[in-house]
Amino acid sequence: MNNQFEPDEDIINLTEQREAEEDVGRNPTGNPTMGDVINRRFSRRGFLGGSLAVTAIATTVSPLALMIADEARAEGTSAFSFTEVEAGVDETHHVAEGYDADVLLRWGDKIFADSPEFDPTNQTPESQLRQFGYNNDYVGFIPLDGADDHGLLVVNHEYTNAELMFPNWATIVTETVEKDGVSKTVEKVKNGALTRDIVDIEMAAHGGTVIEIRKQDGKWAPVLDSSMNRRLHVGTEMMLTGPAAGHDRLKTNADPTGTKVLGTLNNCAGGVTPWGTWLMAEENFHGYFIGELPEGHREAESYKRYGAPAGWYNWGQHHDRFDVAKEPNEPNRFGWVVEVDPMDPNSVPKKRTALGRMKHEGAESVLNKDGRVVFYSGDDERFDYVYKFVTAATYNPDDRSANMDLLDDGTLYVARFNEDGTVDWMPLVHGEGPLTETNGFASQADVVIEARRAGDLLGATKMDRPEDVQPNPKTGKVYCMLTNNTRRKEGDENPANPRAGNAFGHIVEITETDGDFASTRSTWEILLKCGDPSVAEVGASFSSATSINGWFGMPDNCAIDTEGRLWVSTDGNSGKKTGRTDGLWAVDTEGDARATSKLFFRVPVGAEMCGPLFDPTGETVFLAVQHPGDEGLATYEQPATRWPDFRDDMPVRPAVVAVTKQGGGKIGIA
Ligand code: FEO
Ligand code: CA
Ligand code: CA
């Protein structure tokens, strides 16, 4: 999810920054500047373009050393082979030459043979429940019958953009505002009324989709008459399991047992387990609640730590459970990792409370060498933490049913990144250290419900918005996407989050000791500080073999492909911030090409790049184009693009794209 509540002044506008730099004087020495060096490099490689010309910036780095490193790396051994896409912004998507990017599933597409056709002018909750949901985020693939060309695609639908979904609903208005005694005229999008129907369509468009897909003649297509297809949504009955299930803090009027909950919210990234279940991570759940807790309610402090209720969605007007004045415990029933068995369309999804309650970005896993399974999760908020969960029991490859409750028993850890390059994984276990009754933790239920406060007490490291955390089974390393944090002030830096005003984010690489993903002390280093490497003040650290198209800001999701290579997708690049849209970049992690990045795919204007997911053959990468057209003042009638249909009678639509190589073969290999 893009952070729609990030104030604009948080954004470093590179054009303005560069213009300001023109005014700060010139280095009087005759040394070449960093800008000169980069300038030469890009012009030699034919990348220098008028508007992207590099500003001369003074630097203390030895230019000679840079040049030598550059020459060496230009010859470097990148693990990727494809012709890079040119970075930029326009109305459509672009993929590397020699590849096809085919739209597979769009918002409103039929999920069942008898689903109604998408009619944007006549949307109903009932039709949406039988169609592909909005804002596709996580994409997983579960092979069926051991086949490579046939499987279940599982897709999260994170949130809705009502202003882009509903005709004649949002309008662009002009308002006069007073600021510092000066009145000025601003244009803004004014939303329409949240009728019961609008709210119920939004609730139906959230959640997830399971759909069988099949590859024929090299192209993927949905199998609409499959008995496995399913839509999950905010009304789907789910169970709470694990240490918090049945606890008083989870009980509501509708559910006095504290074990049954309707639906899932803001499913961002996720994961697929070794036993073929789908994990949907509940991220910004706080945004769906309104109202005020009753005076003196015990959850007041805890909800503050989670920012609930934030009132982004006014569903509480029509559904009491989203109003904390009426149903004070309901927010405790969200913020979990939900496990879905997609092999049984009637299965009841389970919220696995042992993995802790937070704004889970995702839940990617790896089968450890001792047979236990390790799950990684970022808690996506400024200054929040990185977690992992290690199952108590081992995975049984011969008996799927034996694994179905592995996620109810294990140890949740939170990370402390130490200055000496070690990382301590600290257990969140009731009764250990400060996690005792004295501090308000009467049981493990309290620990998992308030995982954030438990992490606070253990001294976890405050990170720059942890997003996807991805283990690499081939190397024993783990990649943490830290998307940005402009609110980190000078003096608040720590070794793992070294930049104040971190507008562009970075990637931390953890090396789990001896390839043991369950280890409690490992090492870490920074793989990459993101942003434009030609602006010295940004402090980006892409290798000098990275082209002007190859750098990015705001890493968000990532994937490890069948070759053990890292691919990073982004959220937040735009013409204004970086002169480029979001996209998918291939990032070298090994050898002298380390920290070299290349642009493989870019999204249409306004979109964020989610997914990415490689199929088991490495010949397809599934990409989720989320909130396309959501740039500037955008409404249903005036989106920033009408991707992917480009029809006047069709709204812009989020969609999943399948990328394959023309003529077949693995992605990114010559
Ligand atoms: Fe939903 Fe942290 O992105
Ligand atoms: Ca995300
Ligand atoms: Ca991922």
Domains within the chain, CATH numbers bracketed: 14-170+184-661 (2.120.10.30)
Phi-psi region of 218 (alpha: psi -120 to 50; beta: other; left: phi over 0): left
Q: Give the C-alpha separation, 26 to 31, whole Å.
A: 11
Judge if the beta carbon of residue 299 lies within 6 A of ligand 1: no
Please give the distance, rounded to the nearest whole angstrom, from the Cα atom of residue 624 to the centre of ligand 2.
11
Span 138-147, average pLDDT: 95
pLDDT of 36 strictly over 80: no
Tell me the CA distances in angstroms from 268 to 205, 233, 281, 388, one per residue in order.
14, 14, 6, 17
Please give the distance, rounded to the nearest whole angstrom, from the Cα atom of residue 353 to the centre of ligand 3.
21
Judge if the beta carbon of residue 610 lies within 6 A of ligand 1: no
Judge if the beta carbon of residue 467 lies within 6 A of ligand 1: yes
pLDDT of 172 strictly over 60: yes
Nearest Cα residue to atom 1 of ligand 1: 1
Please give the distance, rounded to the nearest whole angstrom, from the Cα atom of residue 158 to the centre of ligand 1.
9
- The more confidently predicted of residues 148 and 134 is 134
pLDDT of 128 strictly over 80: yes
Measure the N-to-C terminal CA separation of the chain; round to a whole number of Å: 34
3-state secondary structure 611-647: EEEECCCCCEEEEEEECCCCCCCCCCCCCCCCCCCCC
Judge if the beta carbon of residue 283 lies within 6 A of ligand 1: yes
Judge if the beta carbon of residue 339 lies within 6 A of ligand 1: no
Q: Give the C-alpha separation, 243 to 448, whole Å.
A: 8
pLDDT confidence band for 146 (50 / 70 / 90): confident
Residues in CB range of 422: below 8 A, 6 or more apart? 521, 522, 523, 524
pLDDT of residue 34: 33
Identify the CA nearest to 154 among candidates 212, 221, 102, 223: 212
Give the ligand whose atoms come closest to the C-alpha of residue 272.
Answer: 3
Give the ligand whose atoms come closest to the C-alpha of residue 158.
Answer: 1
Judge if the beta carbon of residue 268 lies within 6 A of ligand 1: yes
Judge if the beta carbon of residue 582 lies within 6 A of ligand 1: no
In percent, the amount of the chain with pLDDT more than 90 equals: 87
Please give the distance, rounded to the nearest whole angstrom, from the Cα atom of residue 198 to the centre of ligand 3.
32
| Model pLDDT for residues 189-248, shown as the tens digit of each residue | 999 999 999 999 999 999 999 999 999 999 999 999 999 999 999 999 999 999 999 999
Please give the distance, rounded to the nearest whole angstrom, from the Cα atom of residue 149 to the centre of ligand 2.
28
pLDDT confidence band for 10 (50 / 70 / 90): very low
CA angle 426, 430, 433 (to 5 degrees): 55
Please give the distance, rounded to the nearest whole angstrom, from the Cα atom of residue 372 to the centre of ligand 2.
27
pLDDT confidence band for 56 (50 / 70 / 90): very low
The three-class DSSP label of residue 34 is helix
Judge if the beta carbon of residue 200 lies within 6 A of ligand 1: no
Beta bridge partners of 378: 386
Q: Give the C-alpha separation, 135 to 206, whole Å.
A: 8
Nearest Cα residue to atom 3 of ligand 1: 1
pLDDT mean across residues, the chain? 91
Lowest-pLDDT choice from 43-52, 212-221, 281-290, 419-428? 43-52
pLDDT confidence band for 14 (50 / 70 / 90): very low
Please give the distance, rounded to the nearest whole angstrom, from the Cα atom of residue 283 to the centre of ligand 1.
7
pLDDT of 64 strictly over 70: no
Judge if the beta carbon of residue 527 lies within 6 A of ligand 1: no
pLDDT of 643 strictly over 80: yes
Residue 322 phi, psi dihedral angles, 5° rounding: -95, 10
| Model pLDDT for residues 254-278, shown as the tens digit of each residue | 999 999 999 999 999 999 999 999 9
Judge if the beta carbon of residue 361 lies within 6 A of ligand 1: yes
Give the ligand whose atoms come closest to the C-alpha of residue 465.
Answer: 1
pLDDT of 280 strictly over 70: yes
Q: Give the C-alpha separation, 175 to 27, whole Å.
A: 45
Give the ligand whose atoms come closest to the C-alpha of residue 582.
Answer: 2
pLDDT confidence band for 76 (50 / 70 / 90): low
Q: In ligand 1, which atom is closest to the CA atom of 284?
A: 1
Give the ligand whose atoms come closest to the C-alpha of residue 556.
Answer: 2
Lowest-pLDDT choice from 41-55, 329-343, 428-442? 41-55
Judge if the beta carbon of residue 358 lies within 6 A of ligand 1: no
Q: In ligand 1, which atom is closest to the CA atom of 378?
A: 2
Please give the distance, rounded to the nearest whole angstrom, from the Cα atom of residue 378 to the centre of ligand 2.
10
Please give the distance, rounded to the nearest whole angstrom, from the Cα atom of residue 156 to the centre of ligand 1.
12
| Tokens (6 digits) for 342 | 């997609």
pLDDT of 54 strictly over 60: no
Please give the distance, rounded to the nearest whole angstrom, from the Cα atom of residue 505 to the centre of ligand 2.
13
Please give the distance, rounded to the nearest whole angstrom, from the Cα atom of residue 466 to the centre of ligand 1.
9
pLDDT of residue 522: 98
pTM of the predicted protein model? 0.90
Q: In ligand 1, which atom is closest to the CA atom of 159?
A: 1
How many of the other CB atoms lie within 10 Å of CB of 331?
Answer: 24
pLDDT confidence band for 515 (50 / 70 / 90): very high
Q: In ligand 1, which atom is closest to the CA atom of 137?
A: 1
Judge if the beta carbon of residue 659 lies within 6 A of ligand 1: no
Q: In ligand 1, which atom is closest to the CA atom of 283?
A: 1
Give the ligand whose atoms come closest to the C-alpha of residue 139.
Answer: 3
Q: In ligand 1, which atom is closest to the CA atom of 571?
A: 3
Please give the distance, rounded to the nearest whole angstrom, from the Cα atom of residue 225 to the centre of ligand 1.
32
Judge if the beta carbon of residue 380 lies within 6 A of ligand 1: yes
Span 445-463, average pLDDT: 98
Judge if the beta carbon of residue 1 lies within 6 A of ligand 1: yes
- The more confidently predicted of residues 128 and 22 is 128
Please give the distance, rounded to the nearest whole angstrom, from the Cα atom of residue 207 to the centre of ligand 1.
14
